[in-house]
Every structure is written in structure tokens, then in C-alpha cells.
Amino acid sequence: MDKLRELENEVRLGRLSRRSFLARASALGIAGAAGVPLISERAMASSPSVGGQFRIGIGSGSSSDSMDPGTITDTYMQVVNYGLRNNLTEVTPDGELIGELAESFEASEDARSWTFRLRDGVEFHNGKTLDANDVVETMNHHRGEDSESGARQLFDDVDEIVAEDDRTVTFHLSSGNADFPFLMNDYRLTICPVVDGELDLSGNGTGGYILDSFDPGERTTMSRNPNYWKENAAFFETVEVLVMRDSTSRTNALTTGDIDVMNRVAPSSVNLVGRGGNVRVEQTSGNQHYSFPMHVDREPFDDWHVRKAIKLAVDREQLLQTVLSGHGYVGNDHPIGRANRFFHEELPQRQFDPEEARHHLREAGHENLQLTLKVSDAAFVGAVDAGQLMAETMAEAGIDLRVDRVPSDGYWSNVWLEEPFVASYWGGRPTEDWMFTEGYAAGANWNDTNWDNERFNELLREARAELDEDRRREMYHEMQELVHDDGGSLIPIFANYIMGLSDEVQHGEMANNWDLDGLKCLERWWFA
């Protein structure tokens, strides 16, 4: 049945037509007639009912976690936050953007001002009614000189945020941004209430669950919000979110029934987990990818031929099989994934070609090239192995790659962005503009390749303000081609989100923009 789920996933991503789904499903021995309703019916497999204690083990979380949404960096607090609070907008499982706390939103002609109309009568856990002031204050918490919020740079283009009336908020931008409502879906920009003139960051929100206890780095408990404004959501009576950093512990706990769901199943143990009785493994293919950024302003990476040679000298299929046990898909040296709207399907996949790589090396005037790659498992689990594999295939192309393993501690502050050739990890972003602006635009803080391509930068600005879908698609395709061809990042693999679920746990169509059903498992899932 795993294979069948994979096929369904492909259909959802639009990579497989309904017809070929049927053909391949019947090749698996599933009768066509039985296959037809599978796709549409699963969403309503068993109608959700309220009840039960939901326990989920998450492979991250730290005793430094805090309830301030601006400090959120990983899955643990993202899931907790989405249990307690809501965004202005929401991404549906099929990737469409809809209003969440906003009942509607619209742009001015030039996409330079965006107006959000709030839902009527939404109440916070403490009984306060949501109004425009809460939204303005929440956003101000993330912007301005003194803000420590990680979301601060999302507001670089925001000039002013105005409460027009109780239920209307307008954002005035300094330049047009067609994707602005997508930014309002950022996991940090959840709406908090203003209580006695101050923003209440204690966990009081409009979400489907009310906070009972919060022990950072240990566990968080919540109970169902009987007054939740969203219909057909938040089905569990109580919820317990546990920090379980050891993947073997999570797997054991799931197998013995101590938890109902785990995330980050180790790719190598997918088969073992699936075998354990009343437990199943589910995967979504999203945008998270592993990359090896090179600083294009440093020797020898300043030579286009050298970058090309390095990109050609990697066996992506082998990396996928070894590092991820096949649970992912190969990357094409640009950061746009299958969960993005304008993913470039027609761009030819770069293949392992040591001869061609050797040719480019010669063009660059190198007979033999010596390189050092700094890696650590802090970048991603398996980064060191990936480095070793790359060293072997690169040797075939005449590149002598020395893999230098560095400590995990402080990797992101001392190695990434500092050293010219390292291993890195990107969670991916819901929109092309966001991903490119954060990691590829000239001068961006996280531009980890120091890449500065004039045509690319120009397209990025134009596409952002363009409201016509087809023109945007064209532009984003060209940008993917530019990064693929000229960019400094080797992006060999995209990793699936792999989750383990007890058979009791049911869900509808699963979102692939983030881990755990778009981080919304608490409100979207239920017990059979």
C-alpha cells in the first residue's frame, strides 16, 4: 500500500495524470474500479469525530524555546504555535492560499497596498474579540528597529500598517509584491491579542487548542478550544506535544503505543517502522533540500566552468539512495521544489557526467583541481556521508575533494556563510519570490553563495510586482534556469517529510508545504 500512497501523492502533485495513476495502480494489482474512488474518498475516509488524547513526539525542540512567535525556528514550536494561534492566511493542502483570520484580502492595482478584512466575532482564548489593533500590534512586534524577531526581514518593504476600522488592516509597501498574502502565512506571524495595552505572548491565541502547560524542551499540553471559530477542525480532546530528539526513542515510543505520531522517521528505518503492527509510515515531497553552496566570488568558484564541473561530477541518484534511502527526489541545482507553484518541469535534469565535467575543468585551465568541503551533520543528517560519496565521484572527473568534518556546535554561525564550500540545508519557502529573495538575491543576508546575477536580480524585482500568472510563471522559470546554470549552489537532493502514524490516526489530503501536514496536524487530524 505504500506504493499506492506514493502514486496518490504523485497525482496530487500533478506529476501523474489520473489515467496513468489507474494504469500503474492496476499494475500493482489494485483493480481499476477500486482505484478510482481512492483519491477522492480518502479525504473523507472516515468522517472526523471529536475525542481522544493525541500524543505526538517531535524530533526537535529545546529548553530555550519560548512562546514568543518571533523566536520560533524549528518544527516543535511551529506545531505548538499552530495549535494555539492562527495566521491571517492559510495554505490549503493543495497549495492554494485562502484567508484564515482574514475573511478576504485584496491588492491595489500596483500590488503596493494590501487590505485584509478580518472575520467577524473571532475570540481569543481569554474571551477577547479579535480586532484590527491586535493584527497591527502583532506585526509591529516583528518589525522596527528594536525587533528581535526572525521574521523581521519580511517587513523590509513594509512602510506602514494601518487599522482602517475594527476589522480592516491595510499594509502599505514601498514596492509591489504579488505574493504578500503568502508572507502572512509565515509560521512566526501568528496573531496575538493586545491585553491591557501590551501584546500578550503567553500563548493566548485564536487557535483550536488552549494552552495548559508548557515545559520548554520537554512537553506542551493543550486542550480543545470549545469556542474555536473554524468549523470541522481541532478534533482532539487533549493534545500532548513531546520533545523526543532521539529517533530510535521516537520509533520505540510509536511502536509501543506511547505516542500516536512521530516526525522525522530516519530514512533508513522506514521499512522497519512500517512493519511494526498497527503503525504506518507516510511521506510528503516538499521543498526541503540539501545544498552545497560555493562562494562565487572566491577562487576557484569564480570560474563558471569550475562550478559547472562540480555540478556535473555528482551522482545525484546515488546520493538520494544512500543519504535518504530513496525517500526524496533529485535536485536540479535550483531551490524551487515540487510544492512550489511555478516549479520548472521542463528544465532538463542535470546528470552525472564525469567526461563533461573533465572537459569544463580543462576549459577552466585545471588538469587537477583540489578542493576542501567543510561538512557536519549539523547541516543535515548524512552530510558527512554525502561528502564522502561526492569525493569518490568527483575523483572520476579529476577533482580531488578533501572532506573536512567540522564540529556541529556553532556550525551555522562559524562555518556556513563563512567558508567557501560547505554543506547546507534549506527548509524551502512557500513562494519562489521568498526563496530567491532570502537566499539568492544580491546582498541578501542568507545568500550563501554571494551570487550576484544582474538579469536574475532584475527579474526578481519585476516578478514580485507582476500580477499576471502566466508572465510570472515565465519569469520564475527563467530564474530557475539562471540559478541552475550560473548559480553557486550544488543542490543534489530534495528530502521527503517522513512521518510515522498509529493506525488510529486519520487525516485528509496531506499538505506538503511543511512537515506534519503543513505543521497543522493538531487541527487537521483526528482519531478513527
Partner 1 sequence: MARIAVLIAQRLGLGVLILFAVSLIIMFVVELLPGDTCQELMGQGATPQTLQACRAALGLDDPMHERYLSWLGGMLTGDMGISLANQRPIDELVIRRILNTFFLAGIAAAIAVPLSLMLGILAAMYRNSIFDRIVNVSTLTSISFPEFFVAYILIFIFAVELGMFPSVSNVHADMAFQERLYRSLLPALSLTLVITAHMMRMTRATIVNLMASPYIEMARLKGIRGMRIITYHALPNAFAPIINVITLNLAYLIVGVVVVEVVFVYPGLGQLLVDAVSNRDMPLVQAGALMFAAVYVLLNLFADIVSIISNPRLLHPR
| Residue placing its CB nearer to partner 1 in the complex, 65 or 509 | 65
Task: Please name the helix (run of DSSP H) or strand (run of DSSP E) that holds residue 393, with its range, or none.
Answer: helix 383-396
Contact between 317 and 359 (Cβ < 8 Å)? no
How would you class 423 by CB atoms within 10 Å of its CB: exposed for 0-12, middle for 13-18, buried for 19 or more?
Answer: buried
* Rounded Cα–Cα distance for residues 258 and 250 (Å): 9
d(CA 526, CA 182): 27
Beta pairing, strands 505-506 & 489-502: unpaired
Q: What's the closest the beta carbon of residue 276 comes to partner 1, in angstroms?
A: 9
Q: What is the dihedral of CA 390, 396, 397, 400, to 10 degrees?
A: 60
Residue 69 CB neighbours (<10 A): 27
CA distance 119 to 103: 5
Q: CB-based burial of residue 320 (10 Å sphere; 0-12 exposed, 13-18 middle, 19+ buried)? A: buried
User: Torsions phi, psi of 468, nearest 5?
Assistant: -80, 120
Window 87-126: contact mask with partner 1 (x via CB under 8 A): ----------------------------------------
CB of 326 to partner 1, least distance (A): 26
Beta bridge partners of 405: 375
Per CB under 8 A, the list member of 115, 147, 318, 457 interacting with partner 1 is 147
Given the complex with partner 1, which of 349 and 445 has the nearer CB atom? 445
Question: Minimal distance in Å, beta carbon 363 to partner 1?
Answer: 34
In angstroms, give the least distance from the CB of 448 to partner 1.
Answer: 9
Contact positions with partner 1 (CB under 8 A) in 340-369: none
Residue in 150, 274, 398, 508 binding partner 1, rule: CB under 8 A: 150
Minimum Å gap between C-beta 413 and partner 1 is: 4
Q: Which amino acid is at 104?
A: S
C-alpha–C-alpha distance, residues 107 and 110, integer Å: 8
- Closer CB to partner 1, 240 or 282, in the complex: 240
Query: Strand 261-262 to strand 238-243: parallel, antiparallel, or no bridges (unpaired)?
Result: unpaired
Nearer to partner 1, 54 or 114 (CB): 54
Whole-angstrom distance, CA of residue 412 vs CA of residue 448: 11
Q: Could you tell me the smallest distance in angstroms from the CB atom of residue 66 to partner 1?
A: 4
State the DSSP code for 58.
Answer: E
- Tell me whether residue 20 or residue 66 sits nearer to partner 1 (CB atom): 66
Q: Which span (80-88, 140-148, 462-470, 499-507) binds partner 1, by CB under 8 A?
A: 140-148
Query: Does 62 help bind partner 1 (rule: CB under 8 A)?
Result: yes
- Backbone φ, ψ for residue 423 (5° rounding): -95, 145
- Closest distance to partner 1 from the beta carbon of 491 (Å): 16
CB of 216 to partner 1, least distance (A): 6
Residue list 402-421, contact with partner 1 (CB under 8 A): 409-410, 412-414, 416
Instruction: Point out which span in 58-66, 295-303, 323-331, 479-487 binds partner 1 (CB under 8 A).
Output: 58-66
Residues 317-336 that bind partner 1 (CB under 8 A): none
What's the min distance (Å) between Cβ of 211 and partner 1? Answer: 15
Cis peptide before 300 (omega within 30 of 0): yes
Reading the block at residue 494, the C-alpha cell is 530534495
- Read off the C-alpha cell for 394: 568527483
Nearer to partner 1 among residue 142 and residue 338 (C-beta):
142
Q: Is residue 133 within the footprint of partner 1 (CB under 8 A)? A: no
In 3-state terms the chain splits into helix, strand, coil percentages (rounded to 5) of 35, 25, 45
b/e sequence 433-456, b meaning 16+ C-beta within 10 Å: bbbbbbbbbeebeebbbbbebeeb
Q: Using an 8 Å Cβ cutoff, are 115 and 105 in contact?
A: yes
The least distance separating partner 1 from the CB of residue 196, rounded to whole angstroms, comes to 19
Residues in the chain: 528
d(CA 56, CA 52): 13
Distance CA 367, CA 324 (A): 33
What is the rounded CA–CA span in Å between residue 464 and residue 432? 9
Nearer to partner 1 by Cβ, of 354 and 430: the residue is: 430
Residues within window 442-471 making contact with partner 1, judged by CB under 8 A? 445-446
The residue among 252 and 506 lying less far from partner 1, judged by its C-beta, is 252
Q: How far is the CB of 441 from partner 1 (least distance, A)?
A: 14
Q: Counting contacts by CB under 8 A, is residue 198 touching partner 1?
A: no
Complex with partner 1: residue 292 or 416, whichever CB lies closer: 416
Restricted to residues 204-263, the positions that interact with partner 1 (CB under 8 A) are 213, 215-219, 242-246, 248-249, 252-253, 255-256, 258-259
Name residues contacting partner 1, limited to 63-82 (CB under 8 A).
63-66, 71, 73
Contact string 38-57 vs partner 1 (x = CB under 8 A): -------------------x
Q: How far is the CB of 133 from partner 1 (least distance, A)?
A: 24
Residue from 15, 42, 128, 152 in contact with partner 1 (CB under 8 A): 152
Judged by the rule CB under 8 A, the positions of this chain that interact with partner 1 are: 57, 62-66, 71, 73, 145-150, 152-153, 213, 215-219, 242-246, 248-249, 252-253, 255-256, 258-259, 409-410, 412-414, 416, 445-446
